[in-house]
Structure 1
Amino acid sequence: MYLEELTSIINHAFLKSGYNIDCKVIPSDRKDLCDYQCNDIFKVAKQYHKNPMEVGEEIVNNLNSNPNITQYFKKIEFVRPGFINLTLSDEFINRYVRITHQDIKNTLELPEKETFVIDYGGPNVAKPLHVGHMRTAIVGESIKRILEFFGHKVIGDVHLGDFGLQIGQVIYAILRDNIQLEDITISYLDETYPKMSALCKEDEAIKEECAKITKDLQDGKEEYIPIWKKILEVSKGDIKAQYDYLDVHFDYWYGESDSYKYLPRTEKILTPWLKTSEGAKIIEVAEESDKKPLPPLIFKKSNGAYLYASTDIATILQRMEDFHPDHILYVTDNRQEMHFTQVFRVCDKTGICSIKKLEHLGYGTVNGEDGKPYKTRNGDTPKLSALFQNARDIFISKKEDNKAMSIEDVDKIVNAILKFADLQNSREKDYIFDLEKFSEVTGKTGPYILYTYLRLNRIIMAERIPKGFTNEIYNEFDRDLRLQILELPNALQAAYDERKPNYIAEYVYNLCVCANAFYQHNNVNKEENQAKKDDYIYVLKTTTDIIRELLHLLIIEIPTKM
């Protein structure tokens, strides 16, 4: 909102000189020189065949001739070779601090309400959750909350992998070893799946038998249904408990199996486009504009079995009929990009769903210090439950006082450690997972953000909250904090537009840095000038309100103390 206002003023100055061009005001990359800048002088000079210096001086003169310009800018300066440096007035800064204080959403142009379905989580039943599942859950839940913040209706679906080969493998072991239903526990599943997975790699006959069991289950063979339901019950309970710990919640716990009743109708819709290739049913999805080869989507194998692509298409049909969404988002590993390109093109081609409604939000891998996917010391992919405990142990060991903290507070801090470590990275990029570093109370970490909030909140709680404040700014640290408050809508809008929570994580960290510098140089509680003290409290209350709201978007709860 405020950037649009500043941009409008600058564009009016260009129009006054006959330059009909869309210029932008952006935050300065040299805060020691100015607050904001316009870098479009060269673009204007080139289009109108003029000297950049002549254009720059002309625009600055136009701006300074505006009788109301001091409401917006304290200083306007043309800097060679072609930049307009803008320093905001105290009045303008404080106007937007007031707007933000009243309601953060007042700083945004909110879109029309739409319905989103977001598919995130996606764990396979009967397999233990690992660090990769954490990234799906955290990124997906944060995006869901950002969309809700912008006023949309958002429907979250975990979409369990509950009908795949791993189920056939576990059922095979249960029948082979004559395991009773009551003996199927999460410990049993955690031990059995890895053993069966390894066995299938060694023994082709057993692998084929497991595949047959899977196909028979999908076809509704009654012998397997009670076992499958028990596996689902046990595994789902464990998955839900771990997602609850992460404060990740789904509206629907549908699985791959729920799409099977839609498969016959899906196949009928696809029939005009299906071809037979080596007994399998395929559909071509490649386009002339593709920069790399894209193989056809295999809808049905030669043995009649459906694949993930088949059930994903059927699930989109189900979602369109059940929820009538404007958008369907998929949060998965980057490596599934080709899969979703195929699925989305089939849906678009066959009229199931416009490709404009479908988005794949890919994310990178969580790596160890060696740059390879994060592993335990013995080379295994760490279970999520073990990762939680490891984070607890590391945080508690950092300081003697941490041992006396409540379990609830420790778990909130553990969540902050893991989530801020993840969400501060642009989701499509890999990142190095360093639990020791992420657990520190200093630096770009979750504990640092929480500690800053609690520190500021202690100051505020000792004072009364003023209803308003003056237009005076008292020192550079005060000004820096207020300027950072102004930039809030930029971070929120970027996170929303690009579906990337890292913009929010970056902003809240920078806000905390400014707030801590303010704290170090202004003794608020001992300030004798009441008007000045009230102004400080007003700004700090605005700051803590922002931090609290943004932490919610990052799925981070605030402990009672640290």
Structure 2
Amino acid sequence: MTNQSIPGLNRIKNILSQEFPYEWTQPPDVTKGVLTTNQAFVIAKDTGVSPVEAAKPIQTKLQDFINTNNLMLDVKTIGPYVNIVLSNNYLQNFFVNSQSEIQLTPKPPTFLEYFSPNVGKRMHIGHMRSANIGEAMRRICSLSSTVITNNHLADWGVQFGILIYGVISLPKLKLGFTKIDWEKDDNSTIVEKLHKVYVATNSLIDNDESIRDSAKEITTTLEKNITQEKNNNSEIYSIWYNIIAATNLNYSAAESYFNLNQTSNTTIENISTEVAQNLQDKFGVWQINTSHKPGQFDLVIGESFYQHFLDEIHYWVQEGIAIQEGESIYIDLEQYNLGRCYLITSQGYSIYAARDILARFVWAGLFQTPSVATFADNRQNHSFKQVFTCIQLIIDSKIYQKKNFATLTKDQTSKALSILSANLPRHISFGFISLPEGTMSSRKGNVVLLQDFIKSIETQVKANLETKSKKELRSIADNQKIQKISTAVIKWYDLSRDREQDYVFDINQAVQFEGNTGIYQLYTIARLKNILRKNETTAQLVSNSINLLNKSELEILQKMTTLELILENITENYKPHHLCNYLSEFTSMINSWYAKYSVATEENDSRRDTLLHMVNKIISQLEFSLDLLGIEVVQSL
């Protein structure tokens, strides 16, 4: 049996689909095969023969095609279903390859917007969903596409009017401090004070609506100062800038904790040098990297940047797309059952829908990625439907055949329209997270702070580890291990849920060593690495080494080949919980095998070497898969 390069299952699926354009899916378990089609039901319906009879000629044609193209597969029928089964030749080649490369279908460049915390507020547990899901998708999409990441910073809006009013009126709030020392207070202290200011000011608003009006006036003043590029040294501007400077630094700790942007598939230039130079030092552009830098978003562009494009809204009014009533401007979407999409309020300042529309034209024109996805919770579904419908209306109006879009060049405007016409941006929505105690509101102040949540996880993880190891954990290395395990606990519990669903984060369940938990994943790898530490190998595999593996071990190998099918689907549906489902099933198979068989007591040297090779291959895939979820492994628990 000759070892040779083999196509992965995703490539095989594509090859089969070209010749046999059927619906190809995965069987419920690998014992039935790696791919299946129900095409026999379609033929039976059209011809009147039974599905079982219709399956036979499909099997014959498939097997002939596979043999002709040397794909090393077998075709079997199970009733009316036609299944693709891996041959021993295929498995042998997969097994001996030192690194079986994931072969996903190449895709065009992708622009991912995630994390996007609200500046001036302390982070709560709700912020971690966008971070976790967005980062997992960045890593998975990077397997088949160039990815640009953007932290679309919420550094604008009426909440800043409320904060600035509160900072100016600190003595009135009676919070125990009468000033914020932007130079001497550390960032966490500033954010803590701003949180108290925000809650206290909202409490005043509940009893006195005139304060809200004052906050809106501050917002309008700030916006006019920026768009007219004047009075930028005013007290209002200075407070706004200091709020952002302090909270941006504070958020970097959370980015590091959740391993955001830590790896990349490429060091090539993602963003052209020309575009980067044009954006550098522009108001609202907080960070721009032409190529990926570990630990950094490629872009950190605040909502404030898009204030420079507000004149386009008045052009939309002029062209009859938007309607102006007094100071307010909106686009009427009643015919789409979406109400009115307000862009400018009656007080004369813009709201987030306006900035969202403008941003997507700018992204398409400057970065020219055919795919754009924004990760935000499902409470914003209606807003994004409005935004995307407005974009479609603007495109259909053809008004930008007469002029460029704001400061975009003619070529950039044309490409923006072409990209947005072909593929409207996507809103990758996710459900709400809560603790058993209930929901959260930063306006009311009853948030579950992210730092407190993380501390609770780490405390519980430490207690469990100390109980298991029967020793106190106090060293720096111990603390680093606790942090890595805690990150795994959080990410797994979050990512293993279908992103569209709300869920309650049960800390006691999440930190268990058994079951569907992140610790169980790490524990499985630690177990396998312990096998390698305790057993020596000649690293020599005999010919046809898979013949030395038993049924359960062959099923483990078959399972491993299906990983890229899972990843390919995730690049399309943006649901990383499918990878967690795969890993949960995979590690259950591994631990079941571990409980039944011992490598150390294996007397056949060739079989022992084969098992050690299998263990090493399993570890590589587990580490690779967990890394896609942003989870770092530990050497031992």
Same fold (TM over 0.5): yes
Q: What is the CA deviation profile of residues 255-274 of structure 1, one whole-angstrom value per residue up to 9, with x for unaligned ones? A: 11121112224543564112
Change (3 A) 1:77 1:53: closer
Equivalent position SS for 1:281: strand
Change (3 A) 1:556 1:270: farther
Q: Does 1:90 pair with 2:88? A: yes
Q: Does 1:411 pair with 2:511? A: no
Q: Does 1:134 pair with 2:128? A: yes
Query: How big is the shift at 1:234?
Result: 1.4
Q: 1:164 aligns with which of 154, 157, 178?
A: 157
Kept in 1, the 8 Å contact 2:10–2:568? The answer is no
Q: Which residue identity does 1:234 align to in structure 2?
A: A
Alpha-carbon distance in structure 1 between the residues aligned to 2:322 and 2:66: 69
Question: Residues 260-339 of structure 1: matches in 2 within 5 Å?
Answer: 260-265=307-312, 267-268=314-315, 271-272=318-319, 273-277=321-325, 279-285=327-333, 290=336, 293-339=337-383
Q: 1:102 aligns with which of 90, 99, 102?
A: 99
Query: How big is the shift at 1:449?
Result: 0.5
Query: How big is the shift at 1:481?
Result: 0.8
Equivalent position SS for 2:546: coil
Query: How big is the shift at 1:246?
Result: 1.4
Change (3 A) 1:286 1:459: farther
Kept in 1, the 8 Å contact 2:329–2:343? The answer is yes
Report the equivalent of 2:167: 174
Kept in 1, the 8 Å contact 2:11–2:104? The answer is no
Question: Residues 397-546 of structure 1: matches in 2 within 5 Å?
Answer: 397-400=463-466, 401=469, 403-404=472-473, 406-461=478-533, 462-464=535-537, 466=539, 470-546=545-621
Alpha-carbon distance in structure 2 between the residues aligned to 1:75 and 1:22: 16
Report the equivalent of 1:240: 252
Alpha-carbon distance in structure 1 between the residues aligned to 2:478 and 2:590: 27
Report the equivalent of 1:16: none
Q: Does 1:229 pair with 2:226? A: no
Alpha-carbon distance in structure 2 between the residues aligned to 1:368 and 1:241: 23
Report the equivalent of 1:17: none
Alpha-carbon distance in structure 2 between the residues aligned to 1:473 and 1:6: 29
Kept in 2, the 8 Å contact 1:282–1:298? The answer is yes
Alpha-carbon distance in structure 1 between the residues aligned to 2:65 and 2:147: 46
Bigger mean CA offset, 241-250 vs 327-336: 241-250
Percent identical: 23
Q: What is the CA deviation profile of residues 276-300 of structure 1, one whole-angstrom value per residue up to 9, with x for unaligned ones? A: 246522223456xx5xx11132121
Query: How big is the shift at 1:251?
Result: 2.1
Report the equivalent of 1:2: 9
Change (3 A) 1:527 1:25: farther
Report the equivalent of 2:76: 76
Kept in 1, the 8 Å contact 2:110–2:147? The answer is yes
Query: How big is the shift at 1:86?
Result: 5.9
Structure 1 residues not aligned, in runs of 5+: 13-20
Kept in 2, the 8 Å contact 1:2–1:96? The answer is no
Alpha-carbon distance in structure 1 between the residues aligned to 2:512 and 2:193: 36
Report the equivalent of 1:197: 202
Q: Does 1:40 pair with 2:3? A: no
Report the equivalent of 2:636: 561
Q: Does 1:258 pair with 2:305? A: yes
Q: Which residue identity does 1:360 align to in structure 2?
A: H
Kept in 2, the 8 Å contact 1:7–1:24? The answer is no
Kept in 2, the 8 Å contact 1:7–1:25? The answer is no
Equivalent position SS for 2:121: coil
Alpha-carbon distance in structure 1 between the residues aligned to 2:181 and 2:556: 61
Kept in 1, the 8 Å contact 2:118–2:154? The answer is yes
Q: What is the CA deviation profile of residues 170-220 of structure 1, one whole-angstrom value per residue up to 9, with x for unaligned ones? A: 222222235254366222112221111222222101111111112212222
Kept in 1, the 8 Å contact 2:66–2:73? The answer is no
Alpha-carbon distance in structure 2 between the residues aligned to 1:380 and 1:84: 56
Change (3 A) 1:297 1:62: closer
Report the equivalent of 2:106: 111
Report the equivalent of 1:52: 51
Report the equivalent of 1:149: 143
Change (3 A) 1:234 1:56: closer
Query: How big is the shift at 1:433?
Result: 1.0
Q: Which residue identity does 2:42 align to in structure 1?
A: K
Alpha-carbon distance in structure 2 between the residues aligned to 1:2 and 1:419: 28
Kept in 1, the 8 Å contact 2:306–2:359? The answer is yes
Question: Residues 17-32 of structure 1: matches in 2 within 5 Å?
Answer: 22-29=21-28
Kept in 2, the 8 Å contact 1:117–1:327? The answer is yes
RMSD over aligned Cα atoms = 3.1
Alpha-carbon distance in structure 2 between the residues aligned to 1:154 and 1:75: 38
Report the equivalent of 1:396: 462
Change (3 A) 1:192 1:522: same
Change (3 A) 1:298 1:64: closer
Q: Which residue identity does 2:345 align to in structure 1?
A: K
Alpha-carbon distance in structure 2 between the residues aligned to 1:7 and 1:115: 21
Structure 2 residues not aligned, in runs of 5+: 1-7, 171-177, 226-230, 262-296, 396-415
TM-score using structure 2 length: 0.78
Alpha-carbon distance in structure 1 between the residues aligned to 2:541 and 2:37: 32
Question: Residues 365-380 of structure 1: matches in 2 within 5 Å?
Answer: 365-369=432-436, 373=439, 380=446
Q: 1:123 aligns with which of 117, 124, 138?
A: 117
TM-score using structure 1 length: 0.87
Q: Which residue identity does 1:229 align to in structure 2?
A: Y
Q: Which residue identity does 1:149 align to in structure 2?
A: L
Equivalent position SS for 2:235: coil
Bigger mean CA offset, 316-325 vs 264-273: 264-273
